[in-house]
A and B are shown apart, each in its own frame.
Chain A
Amino acid sequence: MRIIAKELFYVTGSAFLIYFIMEIFWTGIVLSYFNINWVLLLWLIIAILIVLIPDKKNGNK
């Protein structure tokens, strides 16, 4: 579960960064279809999940 969350964390983080850069260079290209804040929110939720899900390999939280 933690591994899946980590993968999602990377991809949502990258997505936010790429969309953000696209918006800077071409205003409205992403925002006209959806609000990129939702990606940021998803990224934050996944980050919180990663912190909360126990890491079985290291035995840490």
Chain B
Amino acid sequence: MTINKIIKFRIILFLLLVVSVGFFFCKAIVPSGRIIYANNFEKENYFLSKLSPDERLSASDKKIENIIIANPVYFNLYTPRTFDKAVLKYRYKNTAETSLIETGVLVDKNTWRYDLRPVENRLIDQLSLIWNKIREGDEILLIRPETSDSGTGASYSNIKDFISNPPSFEKIAAYNYNLNLNYILKDYQPNESTTQNIPALRGAYQFFVYLKDEDLDLNFIFYDLNKNKDTDDFDIRLYFNNELINFRHIKDDGNTSDNGKFSKENNVQFKLANLPEGAYKIEVKANNDIVTKTIKTTHKKMAFIHKLELFNAGKEDIKLYTDSNSIQATTIFPESLQIAKINENNLFLNKTYKQFEISIDNQGTSSEILLKKDGLILSGDGVFAFNSFALINPKIKKADYNLDVDKSGIDYIIAKYKSPQKAGEWSVVEVEIDLAQAYRENNRNSFIISAPKLKQEDKKELYFDLIEIELSGRSLLDKINNFWN
């Protein structure tokens, strides 16, 4: 081999290396700003992880487990760069006939909150066959036929009319729709002598308070358990009509170790004057090291949203009130195992780390929960209060499997929802997800597939054939233009 030939050969080899490096950079940068990743469960995929956890999955003829038998399951998406939007395409078979399937991306790791979007909502699918329907793009308004004068739903000719002139609050249910209606309680009078008897709560929670001609006045007493190594900074946020209007940031106690040494009590006052009448949401965005010993307030209406963890402080005989139709309870403490009383029903909590559930027909009324001991995580589809008079739920009823439209007196359902398309035996659905607010760790986003009614003991299956994610974000050209401008 002559020197010339050797040099040519060397050049070709190194050119190939340069091309391969260029290829990897090109794939990582995604110059067009658009890329599709897909998982058909036939082989391991670096970008789209397999579904997990294994115990909620079952195997099919495919090489990777793709049958969901219990709720919920998760998967991760690795992307070498960030994107603004994802369109998730699922091809699946709902052999479980489960009434609600949702999917979403993790937006808050501390509170383990996923921003859920609809995949399949059978209540809306079924009602849209019977009720009068107005569809405008992704938005759908369902009107009970007997509600409109002529029986054709003519009372509202379009969704804009409905939003500008809505019917009364109690007649509306919504799904995946942000309908900002002013929630006003008639005949409400503030009472300065009210005291709320709030027991110790652990971690994050949210609650509503109602204000009328009064200042917001909340006095929290926190302490830090120091059981985890992270710093335990946290926020208290105040929202009105879903908009953040004020917040307090509370710093860690200075002990960032996991020595379990309780911090001193920290008294935090959250006072705000001149607020208009209405329901306000307060969010305590803290990790599990933070315990709220109590909340002192004179506000009459105060109800905790969906979930609260009663700290294991040895308190007994706790009474709560809820408007939830299904209540779940879990404990990790053997000493907190008990028989909880919900109205006249018993909920047997006889195993730690297991979620127990009870369904109650609670359309429009409230239930009383009697707990012998604390140390429980309570959740439900409604709100929880520690006094019967404190119960308030300014949220429009959610149109899902928990809603009985007849018993609840619902005449209108507004939703942002598209039914899945049928392709033979398969259902195909595309779900748009905003990734700009998503939580990202190690270049990965976490996604959830939630089918709340899918339980292992029912031995029903949700069969996934394909998960495809189309990502879009800024192109390389956009980034260059942005850089120069």
User: Which A residues lie at the B interface, using CB under 8 A?
Assistant: 3-4, 7-8, 10-11, 14-15, 18-19, 22, 26-33
Contacts and interface: CB of A to CB of B under 8 A. Distances in A.
Contact of A11 (B1, B6, B13, B25): B13
B76 to A, nearest CB: 12
A57 to B, nearest CB: 12
A10 B10 contact: yes
A27 B16 CA distance: 22
Contact of A14 (B1, B14, B25): B14
Contacts of A18: 17, 21
B4 interface: no
Contact of A22 (B6, B14, B21, B442): B21
A27 B28 CA distance: 10
B80 interface: yes
A33 to B, nearest CB: 7
Contact of A15 (B1, B17, B443): B17
A8 B13 CA distance: 8
A22 B24 contact: yes
Contacts of A32: 27, 46-47, 78, 80
B346 interface: no
A30 B1 contact: no
Contact of A28 (B14, B16, B17, B78): B78
Nearest to B21: A18
B9 interface: yes
B20 interface: yes
A10 B47 CA distance: 31
- Provide the main secondary structure of the chain B interface: helix
Contact of A7 (B9, B21, B24): B9
Interface of B: 1, 6, 9-10, 13-14, 16-17, 20-21, 24-25, 27-28, 46-47, 78, 80, 442-443
12 contacts: A3-B1, A4-B1, A4-B9, A7-B6, A10-B13, A11-B10, A11-B13, A15-B20, A22-B21, A29-B24, A29-B27, A33-B24
The residue in A4, A11, A31, A32 that gathers the most chain B C-beta atoms within 10 A of its C-beta is A32
Given A7-B10, A10-B10, A22-B24, A29 B80 contact: yes
A2 to B, nearest CB: 10
Given A10-B13, A31-B46, 7 more contacts: A3-B1, A8-B13, A11-B13, A19-B24, A28-B46, A28-B443, A32-B80
Given A3-B1, A4-B9, A8-B13, A29 B20 contact: no
A7 B13 contact: yes
A18 B19 CA distance: 13
Nearest to B18: A18
Contacts of A26: 28, 80
The 4 closest A-B pairs by CB, nearest first: A11-B13, A32-B46, A29-B28, A29-B24
A22 B46 CA distance: 17
Contacts of B13: 7-8, 10-11
A8 B16 CA distance: 12
Nearest to B47: A32
Nearest to B7: A7
B446 to A, nearest CB: 16
Contacts of B9: 4, 7
Contacts of B14: 11, 14
A22 B443 CA distance: 15
A43 to B, nearest CB: 13
A35 to B, nearest CB: 10
Contacts of A22: 21, 24
B10 A27 contact: no
Contact of B6 (A3, A27, A29): A3
B276 to A, nearest CB: 49
